[in-house]
Amino acid sequence: MCLLQLWAFGFCHLLFMNTSDSEEDSYNERSALVQCESPTIPSYNQDHDMSLPQETDTKRRRPVSSGLDEPGPVERERASTPDGEEEELTLKYGAKHVIMLFIPVTLCMVVVVATIKSVSFYTEKTSQRLIYTPFEEDPNSVGQRLLNSILNTMVMISVIVVMTIILVVLYKYRCYKFIHGWLILSSLMLLFWFSFMYLGEVFKTYNVAMDYPTLVMIIWNFGVVGMICIHWKGPLRLQQAYLIVISALMALIFIKYLPEWSAWVILGAISIYDLIAVLCPKGPLRMLVETAQERNEPIFPALIYSSAMVWMVGMADSSNPDSGELHFTSCHMLKCLLVDFLTGGVKLGLGDFIFYSVLVGKAATTGGDWNTTLACFVAILIGLCLTLLLLAIFKKALPALPISITFGLVFYFSTDNLVRPFMDSLAAHQYYI
Amino acid sequence: MNLERMPNEEKLSLCRRYYLGGFAFLPFLWLVNVLWFFKEAFLKPAYTEQPQIKSYIKKSAMGLILWVAVLTTWITIFQHFRARWGEVGDYLSFTIPLGTA
C-alpha cells in the first residue's frame, strides 16, 4: 500500500517554465519593478492570465511534462527589441535554465551512482519484489524472461494509469485534503523509513558502530526538517537539496526492487506513456493541467524542483490565491528585459529525477565500467537540453522523459554491446586511440 | 522561500517558529534558523523587528552549541566504551562493526 503511494508520489511530475525570480536577481527585481511600473500596466491583464497557469504548476504529481507557462516575457521581447537581440535574449533565457537544471539532475545521479558503487545492498538481488512486478524473471529462458518483463511492465503501467486517473478525479472533485494527506504520507515514508534503511546500509558498508539514540536523533532531525522545508516554508537551497535526496532514495529503491529486464522495459514504456498522457487531448495529465488552469488556483505543496523559488509555491495551500500576490507575481514576470530578465525558474518534476537516476543507476549496476555510466549520463543531459529547447519553441506542457530516456536507452545498449567489447579488445591489444 | 520578499513581521514570525520548533529535539532546525536568518539579523540595516530576530538567532545558536556538545560527548563515550559494555553496548547498537573486539 505504501509502496503504491510512493510509486504515485514518485511518478507524477511536471516541468514548467516559470518566470519566478531567482534569489540573486532580487536586487535587480526591485529596481526593475520600479522601472517597469508604467510600461507593464497596459499589458497587466495579458500577463496576469498567463501567470495563472504557472501558479497551478505546483502540482507535482503529473507524469513528466515540460511547458513554458509564461510566454509573456518572451512576447514582450519581440515587441520591444529588434530581432537579433530578441533571439539572443531568448537563448540566454533558455541557456541559463538548462544550466539550472543540469546541476540538480547531475547531483541526483551522482548520489545514486556513488551509492550503487559503494553500498552493495542496492545491487544485491533479492527474491523480494514489488507487488507491481509480480512475474518472476527466470534467467534460464530468454523468451520466458522477455515475456515476464513485458507482463510486469503492463502491470506497472496500468497501476500508474489508474493512479493518475484517481488523482485527476480527486482533483476534479476538489478532494484536496485527501491529496494533501496522501502527499504528506508519502513524503513521511520517504524521509523517515527509506533514509533509515539507507543510513543503516551505509553504516554497515563502512563498518561503523552506530547507537540507537544518535541514529534516532539523526533520522528525526533529517525527517522533520525535510517535512518542514518541503511542505511548509524553508530556505530554497535546503528544499532543493531535500528534493534531490528524496529522488535519489526513490531511484535506489527502484533499482533494488525492479527485476533486471523489467526495469529497462518499464523505462521505455513510461516514456511512451508520458508522451501520450501529456500530449493527447484526452490524456489525464493534460486534463489535469487544463482543469488547474481553468480554476486558476495553485494546488497543493509542490514537490516539484524549482530552480528559483516562487513564493506562490510556498502558499500553495490556499485555495484562493490572493490577488495582491498575483499582481506582485505578474509584476515580477513583467520585468524589464534590460535588467536581467531571467526571472524564469524552471520546474522539473521529481519523477524526472527519479527515472533519469534509475537509468544511470542501472547502467552503473550492470555495466562493467564507467563508460556505460558516463554515456548514459551524457545522453540524459543531451535529452534534457533538447527538451528544454522544444519547450522554448512550443511554450506548452511537454513531456520531459521521452527524449532523455530514449537517448539513454540507446546509448546504454550500444555502449554495453558495442563500445565496451571494442574498448576491452583495444586494451587487450594495447592499442591506444 | 525568498526572505527578500517577505514583510518583516512574517520574517519575525518564521524565525520565532523555527526557534520554538527546535525545542522538539531538533538542533538541525536551530542550525537552519541561524544560517538562514544570520544575514537578516546582523548584516542588514536595522528595522523594527530586527532586535527580536537577533535574540532568536542568538538563543538558537546557544541551543545548537549545547546540543552539539551533548551529542559529541555521548558519541565519544559510546564509541570508546562500546566494546567494554558488553551486553548493554550491543543492545544500544544499531550496527555492530565486524572484525573488531
Mean residue pLDDT of chain A comes to 70
Helix (H) or strand (E) holding A268: helix A260-279
Q: Among the listed ranges A119-128, A206-215, A255-264, which one has the minimum average pLDDT value?
A: A119-128
Contact B97 A238 (CB under 8 A): no
pLDDT at A376: 93
| Chain B residues within an 8 Å CB radius of A328 | 5
| Matching residue, cell 536507452 | A409
Please give the positions of A annotated as active site: 274, 352
Which amino acid makes up residue A258? Answer: L
Segment of A93-107, A318-332, B45-59 carrying the highest mean pLDDT: B45-59
The rounded radius of gyration (Å) of the Cα atoms in chain A is 22
How buried is A160 (Cβ within 10 angstroms: 0-12 exposed, 13-18 middle, 19+ buried)?
A: buried
pLDDT at A297: 58
Helix, strand or coil for residue A216? Answer: helix
pLDDT at A270 over 70: yes
pLDDT tens track for A366-411: 866 788 899 999 999 999 888 888 877 877 767 888 999 999 999 9
Helix, strand or coil for residue A301? Answer: coil
Cell numbers describing residue A316:
500553495
Which amino acid makes up residue A95? Answer: A
Beta strand segments in chain B, E: 93-95
Segment of A257-261, A334-338, B87-91 carrying the highest mean pLDDT: A257-261
Contact B94 A211 (CB under 8 A): yes
| Chain A residues within an 8 Å CB radius of B40 | none
B83: nearest CA partner in chain A: A209
Cell numbers describing residue A342:
531571467
What is the rounded distance in angstroms from the CA atom of residue A296 to the CA atom of residue A301?
15
pLDDT at B101: 54
CA distances to A237, B32, B54 from B44, in Å = 21, 18, 11
Quote the percentage of chain A above a pLDDT of 90.
24
How buried is A267 (Cβ within 10 angstroms: 0-12 exposed, 13-18 middle, 19+ buried)?
A: buried
Q: Are A60 and A180 in contact (CB under 8 A)?
A: no
Domain spans in chain A, listed from the N-terminal domain onward: 1-429
How many angstroms away from the CA of B95 is the closest CA of chain A?
A: 5
Q: What's the average model confidence in pLDDT over A193-218?
A: 91
A240: nearest CA partner in chain B: B1
Q: What's the average model confidence in pLDDT over A257-261?
A: 87
| Chain A residues within an 8 Å CB radius of B74 | 213-214
pLDDT at B62 over 90: yes
Provide φ and ψ at B27, rounded to 5°: -60, -30
Reported as a pLDDT band with limits 50, 70 and 90, residue A336 is: very low
Q: What's the average model confidence in pLDDT over A155-168?
A: 87
pLDDT at A34 over 90: no
pLDDT tens track for B33-43: 999 999 888 88
Of A72, A60, A131, nearest in space to A333 by CA = A72
Among A210, A213, A225, whose Cβ lies nearest the Cβ of B95?
A210
ipTM above 0.90, yes or no: yes
pLDDT at A53 over 80: no
Segment of A1-5, A27-31, A36-40, A189-193 carrying the highest mean pLDDT: A189-193
